[in-house]
Amino acid sequence: MNLKQKIQHHIDVPLAQSFKQFRLGSMTFFAGLVIIFGVSQLLTPSLTQELLTLLGLVITALGFGIAMLAQVRMMLGRLTAFWQIPKD
């Protein structure tokens, strides 16, 4: 399988699978934001607060990355389906 076929195979997954990936990324992003908010509201300024905020930022960034990759995957899948020549 060459690179073009691998990319096409990655893009041609069912929309439900890409949406599950997007949902996972969105939920992870939201969980990271909840951690950041909770830490800033509940803990006094300290090294522990800073480390937990950093953990929240890492989780938020991870969720953002997962969600954006899924969004690009869905968008590319729709564009390739739109540009494909119909087979009669």
Q: Average model confidence (pLDDT) for the chain?
A: 91
* pLDDT one-digit tens code per residue, 10-48: 788 888 898 999 999 999 999 999 999 999 999 999 999
pLDDT on residue 13: 82
Residues 43/56, Cβ–Cβ less than 8 Å: no
Confidence of residue 88 (pLDDT cuts 50, 70, 90): low
Tokens of 13: 């997954």
Residues 77/13, Cβ–Cβ less than 8 Å: yes
With a cut of 80, say whether residue 49 has pLDDT above it: yes
